[in-house]
């Protein structure tokens, strides 16, 4: 197996993002009983893991990019919780 360059990995990640976003659908939240947009969670979680690994490989765990990505993940999880 050949090693892909970082640029190639970012390109593949973008393509995978588009694939994940193509799974969007409307559903009703079990908590708020409101209509909400969802994506395929398995594909979404896989994409998040790959993005995180690519940021780590590109910039390191101590980089602002990596830390901001983790912070954004936390915000997204809490924003979908019932209020």
pLDDT in tens, 25-76: 999 988 888 998 899 989 999 999 999 999 999 999 999 999 999 888 766 6
- Across the range 3-11, mean pLDDT stands at 90
Q: Could you tell me which residues come within 8 angstroms of residue 24 by beta carbon, excluding any fewer than 6 positions away?
A: 37, 38, 39
Q: Is residue 40 part of a domain?
A: yes
**Three-state DSSP class for residue 32:** coil
pLDDT grade, residue 2 (50/70/90)?
low
d(Cα 45, Cα 79) in Å, to the nearest integer?
Answer: 17
Q: Is residue 1 part of a domain?
A: no
At 83 the pLDDT is 35
Strand partners, 47: none
pTM: 0.77
In the chain, the number of structural domains is 1
At 75 the pLDDT is 60
Six token digits for residue 1:
């197996």
Where are the extended beta strands (E) located within 1-83? 25-28, 35-38
Q: Which domain holds residue 52?
A: 6-79
d(Cα 13, Cα 55) in Å, to the nearest integer?
Answer: 11
Stronger pLDDT, 83 or 79, i.e. the higher one:
79
């Amino acid at each position: 197996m050949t090693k892909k360059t970082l640029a190639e990995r970012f390109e593949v990640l973008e393509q995978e993002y588009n694939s994940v976003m193509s799974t969007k659908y409307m559903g009703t939240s079990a908590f708020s009983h409101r209509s909400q947009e969802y994506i395929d969670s398995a594909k979404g979680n896989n994409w998040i893991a790959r993005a995180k690994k690519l940021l780590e490989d590109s910039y390191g765990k101590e980089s602002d990019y990596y830390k901001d990505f983790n912070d954004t993940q936390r915000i997204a999880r809490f924003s979908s919780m019932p209020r």
